């Protein structure tokens, strides 16, 4: 009986992992398609496409769906007509949240995002209702084992980056949005393609999440992230390590 339960548990975990992987691939395919359509199908001439390719390769996406997504974007396939949409609102505890999506049905995506906020103690606001609490930056990420911290700082200074944060999770290099392609190319020439390079939202200040709000907030962020249409979620919260540990258990 124990062996049977263990097998079921393994199958359940594998199923959950496969589902997450499929959702990630869906998001990456959309970004590859839109990145190609927004510029050239040649990565060397299209920084956004290079970033999308780096993310796809980091996720070990097979070659065939990558090439199909690029062909769809380059060919102007109407079925691949995705629109970039941004939603803004507040979550539990007054946490400001920005949701960026790529959708082929704006009404469907808006309804999903609004429902997620409403069911998890949040409020979806108008465009511009929270983005003043953030600054737009370019963000480049390398894994902790990819490069050494001192080398990162050296290239960051030469490339004109604004900031570097290094930790167990890796290295995050921030730059002006208009300099993202230039800074990314400088790092790529030295270290190879980064794990990701994209525009992001960095909060001017963060809000500490209290126990009563943390679980609901993370459920909201999880539901948003699960949406195939949602590409990225930014929020201005911070959580104490001991609270994170309790939630993880």
- What share of the chain has pLDDT > 90, as a percent? 42
Residue 131 has pLDDT above 50, yes or no: yes
Q: Are residues 246 and 166 in the same domain?
A: yes
Q: Are residues 204 and 228 in the same domain?
A: yes
Q: Would you state the structure tokens that stand for residue 183, as one six-digit string?
A: 């800074």
Domain boundary among 49, 80, 111: 80
Q: Are residues 134 and 211 in the same domain?
A: yes
Q: Are residues 105 and 10 in the same domain?
A: no
Counted domains in the chain: 2
Q: Are residues 72 and 91 in the same domain?
A: no
Per-residue pLDDT tens over the stretch 148-184 = 778 888 999 999 999 999 888 889 999 998 898 889 8
Domain boundary among 18, 53, 80: 80
Answer left, alpha or beta for residue 109, where phi above 0 means left and psi between -120 and 50 means alpha.
alpha
- What share of the chain has pLDDT > 70, as a percent? 88
Q: Are residues 97 and 152 in the same domain?
A: yes
pLDDT of residue 10: 39
Q: Are residues 244 and 180 in the same domain?
A: yes
Domain boundary among 32, 60, 80: 80
Which pTM value belongs to this model? Answer: 0.80
Q: Are residues 86 and 147 in the same domain?
A: yes
Q: Are residues 148 and 244 in the same domain?
A: yes
CA atoms of 86 and 9, how far apart (whole Å): 38
Q: What average pLDDT does the chain have?
A: 84
CATH number, domain of 72, equals 1.10.10.200
Q: Are residues 76 and 196 in the same domain?
A: no
CATH number, domain of 242, equals 3.30.70.980
Per-residue pLDDT tens over the stretch 209-235 = 888 888 899 999 999 999 989 999 999
pLDDT of residue 136: 94
**Across 120-141, average pLDDT:** 94
Find the domain containing 86 and state its range: 82-249
Give the full edge-to-edge strand order of the sheet including 163-167.
Answer: 163-167, 170-175, 134-142, 196-203
At 237, give phi and psi (nearest 5°): -105, 160
Residues composing the chain: 249
Q: Are residues 9 and 129 in the same domain?
A: no
pLDDT of residue 15: 44
Q: Are residues 220 and 106 in the same domain?
A: yes
């Amino acid at each position: 009986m124990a062996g049977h339960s263990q097998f079921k548990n393994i199958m359940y975990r594998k199923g959950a992992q496969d589902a997450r992987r499929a959702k990630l691939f869906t998001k990456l395919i959309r970004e590859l398609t839109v990145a190609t359509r927004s510029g050239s199908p040649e990565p060397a001439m299209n920084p956004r496409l290079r970033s999308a390719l780096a993310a796809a390769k980091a996720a070990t996406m097979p070659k065939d769906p990558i090439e199909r997504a690029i062909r769809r974007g380059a060919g102007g396939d109407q079925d691949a007509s995705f629109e970039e949409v941004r939603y803004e609102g507040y979550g539990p505890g007054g946490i400001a949240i920005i949701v960026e999506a790529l959708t082929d049905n704006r009404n469907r995506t808006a309804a999903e995002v609004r429902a997620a906020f409403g069911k998890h103690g949040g409020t979806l606001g108008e465009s511009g209702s929270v983005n003043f609490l953030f600054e737009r930056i370019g963000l480049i990420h390398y894994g902790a084992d990819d490069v050494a911290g001192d080398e990162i700082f050296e290239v960051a200074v030469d490339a004109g980056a604004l900031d570097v944060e290094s930790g167990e999770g890796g290295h995050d290099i921030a730059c002006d949005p208009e300099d993202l392609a230039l800074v990314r190319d400088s790092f790529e020439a030295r270290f190879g393609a980064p794990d990701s390079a994209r525009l992001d939202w960095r909060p001017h200040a963060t809000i500490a999440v209290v126990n009563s709000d943390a679980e609901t907030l993370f459920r909201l962020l999880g539901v948003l992230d699960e949406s195939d249409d949602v590409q990225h979620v930014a929020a201005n919260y911070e959580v104490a390590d001991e609270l994170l540990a309790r939630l993880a258990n």
